[in-house]
Amino acid sequence: MEERTKISISEFTALFNKYSERFRLIALSYLQDRSAAEDVVAESFMALWDSREGLAVEGDKVPAYLLGIVKHKCLDAVRTKASTDNRHRNIYEQALLDAKLRLLENDELTARIFSDEIEEIFERELSSMSGLSAEIFRMSRLEGKTYKEISETLGIPLRTVTSEIQKALAVLRVSLKDYLPVFLALISVIKMR
């Protein structure tokens, strides 16, 4: 059966006086924050005080037990800080991404500068496609017809419509890769013409 240790106020005070500064330095080495290190040591001593009536530790091993508490609290603090830092980083990165997307969506100057060039590439690629692919793509993207409507209008299977649109998109993706963000904004402008 384990020996239970009771700690008196004088023993606790002696432990605090002897080890608090050492433990603070150890905590500081983990946390790199003086205030957090002091908090960890204070919380560790409070945990020891709360369990002073019957520790399952031999009297001479109480300092090692207390050091274990300090290290565990340091580990918890590091994990909490890492989690908080990660959340803050994610919030910052999302806000930055949102800002960039808003700039791309609202950048009318860029759209005006590149619109003629993009439209020229778009028309050139459409004219180089097979007649069926170009016609299906125009009906879908520029006239806003559904795949089913295109299938019925041209008298071709729905699978063919899907396949031809995928081919056209693949060709346009390659040709317009440098302009893709602007192209997405301009596709609505081209539809209006």
Angle of the 158-175 helix axis to the 147-154 helix axis, nearest 10? 110
Instruction: Indicate if the pLDDT at residue 42 is higher than 90.
Output: yes
Instruction: Report which of residues 51 and 192 the model is more confident about.
Output: 51
Q: Is the dihedral of CA 170, 176, 177, 182 positive or negative?
A: negative
Among the four given CATH numbers 1.10.150, 1.10.3470, 3.40.50, 1.10.1740, the one describing domain 9-101: 1.10.1740
- Tell me the domain boundaries of the chain: 9-101, 107-192
Confidence band (pLDDT; 50, 70, 90) for 152? very high
> Can you give the C-alpha Rg of the chain in angstroms?
35
The CATH architecture to which 107-192 belongs is Orthogonal Bundle (1.10)
Reduced 3-state DSSP string for 47-59: HHHHCCCCECCCH
Instruction: Report which of residues 177 and 20 the model is more confident about.
Output: 20
107-192 has the same fold as 9-101: no
pTM higher than 0.75, yes or no?
no
Report yes or no: 162 and 108 within 8 Å, Cβ to Cβ.
Answer: no
Confidence band (pLDDT; 50, 70, 90) for 105? low
Please give the average per-residue pLDDT across 99-121, as a whole number: 61
Instruction: Indicate if the pLDDT at residue 121 is higher than 80.
Output: no
Looking at 107-180, which runs of residues are DSSP E strands? none
Cα distance between residue 98 and residue 105, in whole Å: 10
Report the percent of the chain where pLDDT is more than 90.
23
